[in-house]
A and B are shown apart, each in its own frame.
Chain A
Amino acid sequence: MVNIMLRFLFAAFTSIIMGLLFMGIGRKFIARIRRHYAGPFYQSFIDVIKLFSKKSISHNWIMDFGVMMGFAGIIATIIFMPIGPFNVFSQMQGNIIIIIYFMTIGYLGMAMGVAASGNPNATIGIARALTLMLGYEIPFVLTVILLVFANNSSLLQVMVVNQQGGFMEWNAIRYPFAFLAALIALQGMLGEQPFDAMIAPSEIASGPMVELSGKFLGFGFLQHAAQIFLETGIIVNMFLGGSQNFFIFFAKQLALYLLTVAVSGIFPRYRFEDAVKFFWMAPTALAAIQLIIFII
């Protein structure tokens, strides 16, 4: 039991720390596209500590409860994801369908918390985020289905094991169209441009975060960091062969994240219904084509 708890804490802290680190590196990376330097790579850690050291307001208990639930949802999802060679549970628990659904509890918690703040800007942001979610889940689920069929298992661990034969065995090489679809879906999941309509500062004043202050915003920050870790981790496990080495695993995640950051650097944001249309056209078609090729 203690063992499990320690493993749990390890997974939780790894995800937060790595997520914050990725955020910092991502900020430095996009700064180069924008021709400047940006802060140090550990800037995100400072930001989080500062946020937790600030006083904050909330409007009611649901707001307190919601942000905690949002963060807990993402952390709980990470527990089920293999982090390199590390699994919290010794039995196979990395069920991709559970993971997809568990992610939702994070969104629900955050959405509930910020909606309880009673600010229409936040609610518009949530409405946009949920609509976008309907968009990117479709191509993503198609790729998930493809991999479940290909591996005859819905466990992430099995998918990782099946890709251990080297570079050419990676699902990204085997199923390039599906990989592309998943990458586009990842862009949407992380809410980077062009799919950042939900936070759009110039439209709805940073949307869901509008009323978050102090530690509430800190939770939002941590949730985003963990989400970066989680979502890149899922794609790495699914398509890039996971890894038996922590550092290679993190490096793959970082590479994926930097790719999304680079794309976000040169695109403005879609209107969200256009984004949904886009998700249902190009990436869905790619994933479906790959699925049909696989079935045939």
Chain B
Amino acid sequence: MSEILTFMGMEDQYKKYELFFGPNHPGMHGNFSYIITVEGHTIKKIDPDAGLLHRGFEKLVEQRLWMQNISLIPRICVPEPDINEAIYSIAVEKLMGVEVPERAQYIRTIILEMARIGAFLFGFGGIGGATGLYTASYWTFADRDYLLDLFEWLTGARIYHMFILPGGVRRDIPNGWLEKLSETVDYLQKRLYEYDRLIYNNPLIVKRLENLGPVTQEDAMKYGITGPNIRATGIKYDTRKAVPYAAYDKIDFEVPVQTAGDGLARAVQKREEFQVSLDIIKKAIQQMPEGSVRAKMPNPLKFRVPKGDVYVKLETAHGEHAYYIVSNGSDKPYRMAVRGGSFTAGLVYAQKALVGMRIEDVALWMATMDICPPDFDR
């Protein structure tokens, strides 16, 4: 019997072959790797090899003061860094019981939505890159820069802003910034229709994305697929609505839903949410209250957080990003666990979903699922 088994193993060796999809593969977003076992052109087995971006954040935050960590954590999720500061700040506020001024809440909302739009633009470009429609990547990355310029004006940095702090935001909005933001939003609105023509109404894109790795509702819930991807399966759940944070409870917005759950639905869902984010920013600009932007907080160097633990999750473009923070009452966090938005999709669900797909679908599947390696490597 064992001889037969070894023979079958040998046979397997000849029938199948391995492809290394990443880390330095052009289709791979970031430094991550799938080792794919292929037979013919069809994937038979997929084995993720993560950890290439591991920096040990969970350990590092334990070694720094509560306030110092603000400069560290944006680096957990690179395409959409602001979300990290927001989660961290909200968690600290919840543990300390601090009320954040309303203006700061609105500014946070705008920042988060801008980051979200930036991430969506990144995602559109990713779809373009994965399918060979490089024009889309060129356009979206250039348009993303308008947002980055605004960030730079507001915070002084292009990518890692460290703008949202426990108790509010770092500083108030400079003069003329909101007007410029409105202009940019209008511009992006106009560009969105261009993207429709280039990407979403492009028959070949539709052909490529249709029936690409359809996700069922049960799978989505069970495998922890979140954010736009779960809404693409038809589950109308949005953390911004269900467990509101920042100023989302004061701003009226619709949660779009798709039903098919396949690649096309996921892509279209992100396009719709892009629209929603633009609307939210517009409304936030209109409703922007006056007032201070920071609650009174203790001296950052001596700042202690009461004993307790909290789990805070926020909606991001690639799913629910969440921290579980434990404080033992000292000046440093006792433990912080990071739930990356695409941990389950990229490491677990991929092993199930990609089997039976073709080689050319891997990059596209990753683009539509928004697999973001830094947030599960931590």
CB distance from A34 to the nearest CB of B (A): 4
A34 in contact with B131 (CB, 8 Å) = no
User: B120 CB to closest chain A CB, in angstroms?
Assistant: 18
* CB nearest neighbor in B for A195: B132
Asked whether A205 and B135 contact (CB < 8 A) given A267-B204, A268-B128, A270-B204, the answer is no
Please report the C-alpha to C-alpha distance between residue A196 and residue B198 in the assembled complex, in whole angstroms. 18
Quick one: which of A33, A120, A204, A269 contacts B131, CB cutoff 8 A? Answer: A269
Tell me if A268 and B208 are in contact (CB < 8 A).
yes
**CB under 8 Å from chain B, chain A span 156-214:** 193-194, 196-197, 200-206
**A and B contact pairs by CB, cutoff 8 A, 23 listed:** A34-B135, A36-B138, A120-B17, A124-B41, A193-B132, A193-B133, A197-B360, A200-B132, A201-B27, A202-B129, A202-B363, A202-B364, A203-B363, A205-B26, A265-B134, A266-B133, A266-B198, A266-B202, A267-B204, A268-B131, A268-B205, A269-B132, A269-B133
Which of chain A's residues have a CB closer than 8 A to the CB of B129?
202
B190 within 8 A of A: no
User: Which chain B residue has the least Cβ–Cβ distance from A196?
Assistant: B132
Interface residues of B in 175-212 (CB under 8 A from A): 198, 202, 204-205, 207-208
- Find chain B residues with CB under 8 A from A47 CB: none
- The answer to whether B138 touches A35 (Cβ under 8 A) is yes
Tell me, in angstroms, the Cα distance from A206 to B131 when the chains sit together.
13
Residue of A nearest to B143 (CB): A35
A267 touches B360 (CB 8 A): no
Residue of A nearest to B27 (CB): A202
Size bin of chain B's contact surface:
20 to 34
A201 touches B138 (CB 8 A): no
Q: Which residues of A (129-145) have their CB < 8 Å from a CB of B? A: none
The residue in chain A whose Cβ has the minimal distance to the Cβ of B25 is: A205
- Cα A75 to Cα B202 in complex, Å, equals 37
- In the complex where A34-B138, A201-B26 touch, is A268 in contact with B202 (Cβ < 8 A)? yes
B226-260 contacts to A (CB < 8 Å): none
CB pair B135–A33 under 8 Å, yes or no, is yes
B→A interface (CB under 8 Å): 17-19, 25-27, 38, 41, 128-135, 138-139, 142, 198, 202, 204-205, 207-208, 358-360, 362-364
Q: Are A35 and B139 in contact (CB under 8 A)?
A: yes
Going nearest first, the 10 A-B pairs with the smallest beta carbon separation are: A202-B27, A268-B131, A34-B138, A268-B133, A269-B132, A201-B26, A203-B360, A202-B363, A202-B130, A268-B132
Point out the residues of chain A lying under 8 angstroms from B25, CB to CB.
Answer: 202, 205
Distance (Å) between the CB of A120 and the closest chain B CB?
A: 5
Judged by a CB distance under 8 angstroms, whether A121 is at the interface is yes
Tally of contact residues, A, Cβ under 8 A: 27
Which of chain B's residues have a CB closer than 8 A to the CB of A200?
A: 132, 360
Interface residues of A in 239-296 (CB under 8 A from B): 265-271, 274
Q: Which residues of B contact A120 (CB under 8 A)?
A: 17-19, 38
CB of B210, distance to nearest CB on chain A (Å): 11
Whether the pair B27, A203 counts as a contact (CB closer than 8 A) is yes
Smallest distance from the beta carbon of B318 to chain A beta carbons, Å? 18
Q: Which residue of A lies closest to B209 (CB)?
A: A268
Tell me whether B27 and A266 are in contact (CB under 8 A).
no
For A196, list chain B residues within 8 Å (CB): 132
Alpha-carbon distance between A201 and B134 when the two chains are bound, in angstroms: 11
Q: Is the beta-carbon distance between B134 and A34 smaller than 8 angstroms?
A: yes
Besides the known contacts A196-B132, A202-B129, A204-B360, 6 further A-B residue pairs in the complex with CB atoms under 8 A apart: A120-B38, A200-B360, A202-B131, A202-B363, A203-B363, A269-B208
A26 to chain B, nearest CB (A): 13
Residues of B within 8 A of A205 (CB): 25-27
Given A266-B198, A267-B204, A268-B208, A204:B359 Cβ within 8 A: yes
Q: A35-B142, A268-B131, A268-B132 are in contact. Are A206 and B204 (CB under 8 A)?
A: no
Chain B nearest Cβ from A278, distance in angstroms: 10
| Residue in B25, B129, B360 with the greatest tally of chain A CB atoms within 10 Å | B360
Set of chain B residues within 8 Å of A274, measured between Cβ atoms: 207
Are A203 and B41 closer than 8 Å at their CB atoms?
no
Contact between A267 and B27 (Cβ–Cβ < 8 Å)? no
Contacts of B205 in A (CB 8 A): 268
Complex alpha-carbon distance, A189 and B17, angstroms: 29
Minimum C-beta distance from A158 to chain B (A): 38
